[in-house]
Structure 1
């Protein structure tokens, strides 16, 4: 029986595994290409995208990750994971980074600026409330976050964010967006879905709200996979009393 894979090269993979545990689902760390053969869905966490890309290249993961996406298996990228899944990324460092691709969109890396520009915001997500219940808004945690500038015709926009007029974006990353948006507010896309691919610019794994994880788990059935082959309930082989290592705070 397959498991939910979480790419564990760097970043908040522990927090994703902890969120899955709260849903009584077992997540497994993925670091090698052959490990992808044991899972039917994959989460690519937030982190430092350039570092993650270098580690993925070192472990020869990119060909296997691209094949995983092409096979139509559910993949969810958060923050850096969103950048990985995009067909095109701007605002890259010199030399850029390798991408997995598959998501028909253009992502602006570090759109909101440097680490000190990190913030939280209430994001309206009607689709999430419709499928998972609860409030229509979700508390988005944006940490050195990217944003989606445009999407293809097959991409469903799940959430966007109006950047306030007094929000000073880092000129090194957001020149294009500032030139294209001359109004008092700048709307950018922060969550999308394209068939088997889900992507969020923020970090649901750093909140106590597990609706995004539940939404992703149900995508396996919607994309033609059997739910039982995509998720595995936490069993006796996993010590529930053992707390996972948490690198970042969980926002209530």
Structure 2
């Protein structure tokens, strides 16, 4: 966990996907970020964001860059936040006890925006959620999963320990609350489930 006497540095996997938008949101929160492209850069980070993008491409790039083992090691004791394809990577890394269906809400032409009620520190909040080729969580396989938000009674925002994941893209809105929650959760040592 990060030391209380220094600023957090959140790594953002920057091989492919919407990493720049995540960085913009973190900048608005005053959080130091580092674009991560090599395993050695993970050592400089207190937490990591796995952005949306194309999960097959991202997996290929992670393996080509030798990052897969480094990510597995990093996630053993540091928090990871994955959005859309990032959540798929988290399941492949064994960080989330869920089953998923890729593109579960449809292809690109079926993308949509909706209002969601999510459970954050201090109660329920309404947010705008963008679903773009979003994975669907088909099964929560552990009581360790805390469902923080649902769409049509299906989980779309979950937490397991210090790890957080969304099927939607909070980085594509101007609302920083999901990102703030990620930072606050492990800054305060809040470990759910």
Same fold (TM over 0.5): yes
Give me the whole-angstrom Cα distance separating, in 2, the residues matched to 1:20 and 1:79: 18
Matching residue of 1:34:
40
Give me the whole-angstrom Cα distance separating, in 1, the residues matched to 2:19 and 2:103: 20
Deviation at 1:222, TM superposition (A): 3.6
Matching residue of 2:102:
109
Deviation at 1:211, TM superposition (A): 0.4
Which structure is higher in RCO with an 8 Å CA cutoff and minimum separation 6?
Answer: 1
Matching residue of 2:114:
121
- Structure 2 residue runs without a partner (length 5+): 1-5
Contact persistence 2:17–2:51 (CA under 8 A): yes
Contact persistence 2:121–2:181 (CA under 8 A): no
Deviation at 1:74, TM superposition (A): 1.1
Deviation at 1:190, TM superposition (A): 0.5
Contact persistence 1:147–1:201 (CA under 8 A): yes
Matching residue of 1:218:
184
Kindly report structure 1 stretches of 4+ aligned residues shifted beyond 4 Å: none
Return the structure number with greater strand share: 2
Matching residue of 1:138:
127
Contact persistence 1:74–1:219 (CA under 8 A): no
Matching residue of 1:190:
156
Give me the whole-angstrom Cα distance separating, in 2, the residues matched to 1:224 and 1:136: 19
Q: For the aligned residues, what is the CA RMSD?
A: 1.7
- Structure 1 residue runs without a partner (length 5+): 87-98, 163-186, 226-252
Instruction: Normalising by structure 2, report the TM-score.
Output: 0.90
Aligned pair partner of 2:138 in 143, 146, 149: 149
Matching residue of 2:90:
85
Give me the whole-angstrom Cα distance separating, in 2, the residues matched to 1:222 and 1:24: 17
Give me the whole-angstrom Cα distance separating, in 2, the residues matched to 1:191 and 1:25: 22
Matching residue of 1:5:
11
Deviation at 1:129, TM superposition (A): 6.2
Deviations 1:78-120 (Å, cap 9, x if unpaired)?
000111111xxxxxxxxxxxx2221111111110111101000
